[in-house]
Structure formats: C-alpha cells, structure tokens
Amino acid sequence: MSAGQRSRRAWGWHPLTDSWAARIVADAGIRRGDLVLDIGAGTGALTGPLLATGARVIAIELHPGRAAHLRERFAGRSLSVVEADAATLRLPGRPFHVVANPPYHLTSTLLRALFAPNSRLIGADLVLQRQAVRRFVERRAPGKRRWDLSFGRPLPRHAFRPPPQVDSAVLVIRTRGGLKAFPPNT
C-alpha cells in the first residue's frame, strides 16, 4: 500500500453487515415519506433498508468511488447522493431524521450540528463508540432540552466488516416524547 493509499480501517470506515443494518433501520421506526440522512453512507448498508421503508433518503458520502457506487446501486430509487464531508454538512431546512453509521472521529462535530438551535431534527439513530453513547446519555448537556437521548442497541464487533477495535452502540435521539431504549449491557 502506497503512502497515499489508506485501508478502510485507517479511514475509520467500518461498514455494517446487512443483517445488523436492517435491525438498526427497523429500530429507528422510519416511515414512508420521511426525509432521512444517511451520513457516511459508504456502499449503502443502511441506505438499502432505509429506501425499503419508502423514505426519501439523502446519502452523504465523501469518497467519490463509494458515492458513484451508491448512485449506480440505487438508481431510480428515492435517493439523493451528496458528496460532502460530514464535518461541514449543511442540514435540511425541513424536518428530517438521521440513521447513520458516521466515522467515529466526527461524533462531536456531528452532534453539535444536529443540536444547533435552528436544527429541524426529528430523531436520530447513530452508530457510535459505546463509550461516547454512554457519555452523551449520562451528561445530558444543557441546550439539548428539545431532545431525549438514550442508549440504543449495543452492537458486537462482528456487526461490522472489518470489525472496529472498540465497542459500539446506537445513540437514540428523539424530540421530546416516546422513546424506545435498550439497556446498556444487553
């Protein structure tokens, strides 16, 4: 591998297996017509099940080859592919959901954007490092009073290819109201 090339692991890209991606989408409760962002869409592990719900999906993917793959794989479906860096993402001006497996190093940047005062976020299911999920749920920082944060489905390392070297879980974010939460140690 040349100095200019990096492995998926070095990029921090750990795609979900199809079966785990389907579980995460099912847990999110996405409905037909919902606008959903798939941030760090990769090759579409979450994108496919999201489209199967009848949602309108915006897949955000920085890597040009993976973005082209998404366009080809899901041609003719209710999908827009945006080649953009999730760190500088501009969020929709209308209500939206997020179901994503973003690069772990972007967790804080992404959450700041989602929790911005003008955000139209309805809910999010984010695959993150388990420790980060625990920290965000326990901290419940001021300024996030519009949303409930809970510990979602824990993910074993074999839920990814290649497996990450850290434990993962879903951070569930919902506007004030009904939540579905999983206990942190299941």
- CATH number for the domain including 157? 3.40.50.150
Closest CA to 58 of 74, 31, 37, 42: 37
Task: Evaluate whether residue 184 is within a structural domain.
Answer: no
Q: What is the maximum alpha-carbon separation in the chain?
A: 51
155 is in an annotated binding site: no
Q: What is the pLDDT of residue 174?
A: 93
Domain count, the chain: 1
Task: Evaluate whether residue 182 is within a structural domain.
Answer: no
Tell me the residue range of the domain where 140 lies.
13-175
101 is in an annotated binding site: yes
Percentage above 90 pLDDT, the chain: 76
Task: Evaluate whether residue 186 is within a structural domain.
Answer: no
85 is in an annotated binding site: yes
Strands 79-82 and 35-39: unpaired
Task: Evaluate whether residue 155 is within a structural domain.
Answer: yes
Task: Evaluate whether residue 2 is within a structural domain.
Answer: no
| Coil/strand/helix, residue 31 | coil
User: Do the beta carbons of residue 149 and residue 173 sit within 8 Å?
Assistant: yes
63 is in an annotated binding site: no
**Distance between CA 110 and CA 19 in Å, rounded?**
25
Closest CA to 91 of 47, 41, 36, 137: 36
pLDDT in tens, 104-154: 999 999 999 999 988 999 999 999 999 999 999 988 654 556 889 999 999
| pTM of the shown model | 0.87
Bond from prior residue into 49 cis (ω within 30 degrees of 0): no
Task: Evaluate whether residue 6 is within a structural domain.
Answer: no
61 is in an annotated binding site: yes
Q: What mean pLDDT value characterizes the chain?
A: 88
| Count of positions (residues) in the chain | 186
14 is in an annotated binding site: yes
